[in-house]
Protein backbone atom coordinates (compact mmCIF):
# COMPACT_ATOMS: atom_id res chain seq x y z
CA UNK A 1 0.00 0.00 0.00
CA UNK A 2 1.39 3.39 -1.02
CA UNK A 3 0.97 6.15 1.55
CA UNK A 4 1.49 9.82 0.81
CA UNK A 5 2.14 12.69 3.13
CA UNK A 6 2.20 16.27 1.98
CA UNK A 7 4.41 18.66 3.93
CA UNK A 8 4.32 22.39 4.42
CA UNK A 9 7.86 23.67 3.91
CA UNK A 10 9.50 26.91 5.13
CA UNK A 11 11.08 29.23 2.59
CA UNK A 12 12.35 32.79 2.34
CA UNK A 13 10.53 35.36 0.20
CA UNK A 14 12.96 36.83 -2.33
CA UNK A 15 10.55 38.99 -4.35
CA UNK A 16 6.88 39.97 -4.48
CA UNK A 17 4.68 40.93 -7.41
CA UNK A 18 1.01 41.86 -7.67
CA UNK A 19 -1.25 43.61 -5.20
CA UNK A 20 -3.70 42.75 -2.41
CA UNK A 21 -5.05 39.19 -2.69
CA UNK A 22 -3.21 38.68 -5.98
CA UNK A 23 0.27 39.03 -4.44
CA UNK A 24 2.68 36.30 -5.52
CA UNK A 25 6.00 35.76 -3.82
CA UNK A 26 9.06 34.07 -5.21
CA UNK A 27 10.13 31.82 -2.33
CA UNK A 28 13.56 30.23 -1.91
CA UNK A 29 13.56 26.68 -0.51
CA UNK A 30 17.28 26.11 0.05
CA UNK A 31 18.26 27.03 -3.51
CA UNK A 32 15.05 25.98 -5.28
CA UNK A 33 12.78 28.92 -6.06
CA UNK A 34 9.03 28.57 -6.55
CA UNK A 35 6.15 31.00 -6.69
CA UNK A 36 3.56 30.98 -3.90
CA UNK A 37 0.39 32.93 -3.28
CA UNK A 38 0.70 35.41 -0.40
CA UNK A 39 -3.08 35.88 -0.06
CA UNK A 40 -3.14 34.28 3.41
CA UNK A 41 -0.18 36.30 4.70
CA UNK A 42 -0.81 39.90 3.58
CA UNK A 43 1.73 41.15 6.14
CA UNK A 44 4.60 39.16 4.55
CA UNK A 45 7.47 41.10 3.01
CA UNK A 46 10.65 40.34 1.06
CA UNK A 47 13.10 38.67 3.44
CA UNK A 48 10.39 37.07 5.59
CA UNK A 49 10.19 33.31 6.09
CA UNK A 50 6.86 31.66 5.35
CA UNK A 51 5.43 28.15 5.56
CA UNK A 52 4.21 27.08 2.09
CA UNK A 53 1.67 24.32 1.49
CA UNK A 54 0.38 23.41 -1.99
CA UNK A 55 1.40 26.76 -3.45
CA UNK A 56 0.07 28.99 -0.67
CA UNK A 57 2.08 30.71 2.05
CA UNK A 58 -0.04 29.91 5.10
CA UNK A 59 1.94 31.59 7.90
CA UNK A 60 5.01 33.66 8.67
CA UNK A 61 7.78 32.50 10.96
CA UNK A 62 11.08 33.91 12.14
CA UNK A 63 14.48 32.77 10.84
CA UNK A 64 15.26 30.76 13.98
CA UNK A 65 12.00 28.83 13.69
CA UNK A 66 12.64 28.20 9.97
CA UNK A 67 16.13 26.88 10.73
CA UNK A 68 14.67 24.55 13.37
CA UNK A 69 12.28 23.10 10.77
CA UNK A 70 15.16 22.74 8.27
CA UNK A 71 17.10 20.80 10.92
CA UNK A 72 14.13 18.48 11.56
CA UNK A 73 13.88 17.82 7.82
CA UNK A 74 17.62 17.04 7.68
CA UNK A 75 17.22 14.63 10.60
CA UNK A 76 14.34 12.90 8.80
CA UNK A 77 16.60 12.42 5.78
CA UNK A 78 19.35 11.05 8.06
CA UNK A 79 16.87 8.57 9.59
CA UNK A 80 16.08 7.15 6.16
CA UNK A 81 19.68 5.90 6.04
CA UNK A 82 18.96 3.74 9.11
CA UNK A 83 16.34 1.55 7.38
CA UNK A 84 17.01 -2.17 7.76
CA UNK A 85 18.52 -3.91 4.74
CA UNK A 86 15.97 -5.17 2.27
CA UNK A 87 13.38 -2.45 2.89
CA UNK A 88 12.62 -0.09 0.03
CA UNK A 89 14.31 3.29 0.32
CA UNK A 90 12.38 5.26 -2.25
CA UNK A 91 8.72 5.68 -3.17
CA UNK A 92 9.40 4.14 -6.57
CA UNK A 93 10.41 0.95 -4.76
CA UNK A 94 7.14 0.78 -2.80
CA UNK A 95 7.99 2.72 0.37
CA UNK A 96 5.97 5.56 1.81
CA UNK A 97 6.02 8.67 -0.34
CA UNK A 98 6.72 12.08 1.18
CA UNK A 99 5.85 14.96 -1.06
CA UNK A 100 6.43 18.68 -0.62
CA UNK A 101 3.28 19.25 -2.63
CA UNK A 102 3.13 22.06 -5.13
CA UNK A 103 5.28 24.44 -3.13
Tell me how far apart the alpha carbons of residues 87 and 99 are, in angstroms, rounded to a whole number: 19
- In this predicted structure, the answer to whether residue 23 has a pLDDT above a threshold of 50 is yes
Look at residue 83 and tell me if it is in a domain. no
Look at residue 89 and tell me if it is in a domain. no
| CATH number, residue 67 | 2.30.30.140
Domain count along the chain: 1
| pLDDT tens figures, 83-102 | 555 545 544 444 444 444 44
> Under 8 Å CB-to-CB from 38, ≥6 apart: which residues?
13, 16, 23, 24, 25, 44, 50, 57
| pLDDT tens figures, 38-70 | 999 999 999 999 999 999 999 999 999 998 988
Which domain does 51 fall in, by range?
Answer: 4-78
Look at residue 69 and tell me if it is in a domain. yes
- pLDDT number for residue 21: 87
Look at residue 99 and tell me if it is in a domain. no
Q: Kindly report the pTM of this predicted structure.
A: 0.70
Look at residue 90 and tell me if it is in a domain. no
Amino acid sequence: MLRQMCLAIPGKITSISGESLMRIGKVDFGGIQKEASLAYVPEANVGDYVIVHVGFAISRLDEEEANTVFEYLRQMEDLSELQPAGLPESPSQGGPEVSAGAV
